[in-house]
Amino acid sequence: MDNTTLLTRGDNVYNKKRGRKQRQEEIVFDKAQRQEFLTGFHKRKVERQKHAQAVAEKQQREDKRQMRKMIRQQRKQQLQERIEASRKLLGAEDTSNSEDEDSDNVTAETEDKVVIENDDEPRTREYEEDDKHVSVIIQEDDGEQSQNEEELADGIHTPQTDPPPSVPIRPHKQKQKKNRFRYESKEERRMSERKSKIKKLKHAVRRRH
């Protein structure tokens, strides 16, 4: 190897490296891809529309899910409010029922007193003689009782005898009282209904006896 070759050896290596760096890439022209690009506008447009439709459907499903979640929360809240209202109503009904029971006890006591006080009602006696049936109604009178007490106090006693069975006696007709119309409360209506029931029951028992 001569001296010239040795001195230019480094230069040759540098030129080779520089040539590789500055080398231009080769452009390959593909006719098929060019044809697809030129004729694929409609295809790409359809693909974009499908992609947009898929995104819209996904968003719609998400909106529906959020709406259902909101409706469930509202229904749950309404149910809770109804439960609270029904609890309050049941508490109020329990209080009113206890008050009604107390009032019923009071009315029952007053009705018992009324029944005891109404024991002085007319009594009926029946006599039978010679195929004759006579019914006599005996009614106590406070005036006669007070008169008898006064006669006993004065030393005068007039014995009272029952009328003979052969003499028919007309039953005593009581004067009909005029009906006065007035508005009654709830407790008064209950008391009047119970009084009428008790009176009917008494009449039924007397008819049986």
Note the pLDDT of residue 116. Answer: 45
pTM of the predicted model as reported, rounded to 2 decimal places = 0.30
Query: Exposed e or buried b for every residue in 92-102, given b needs 16+ CB within 10 A?
Result: eeeeeeeeeee
Note the pLDDT of residue 25. Answer: 64
Note the pLDDT of residue 171. Answer: 58
Report how far residue 67's alpha carbon sits from residue 73's, in angstroms, rounded to the nearest whole number.
10
By DSSP bridging, strand 123-129 and strand 132-138 are antiparallel
Other Cβ atoms closer than 10 A to 120? 10
Amino acid letter, residue 103: S
What is the tens place of the pLDDT at every residue in 49-103?
Answer: 999 999 999 999 999 999 999 999 999 999 999 998 888 888 776 666 666 666 6
Comparison of pLDDT for 188 and 100, the residue scoring more: 188
Query: In this structure, what token pair is assigned to residue 168?
Result: 């028919």
What is the tens place of the pLDDT at every residue in 123-182?
Answer: 555 555 555 555 555 555 554 455 555 555 454 445 455 555 555 556 556 666 666 656
Q: Which helix (H) or strand (E) holds 178?
A: none
- Is residue 115 over pLDDT 70? no
What is the tens place of the pLDDT at every residue in 40-51?
Answer: 889 999 999 999
110 pLDDT tier (thresholds 50, 70, 90): low
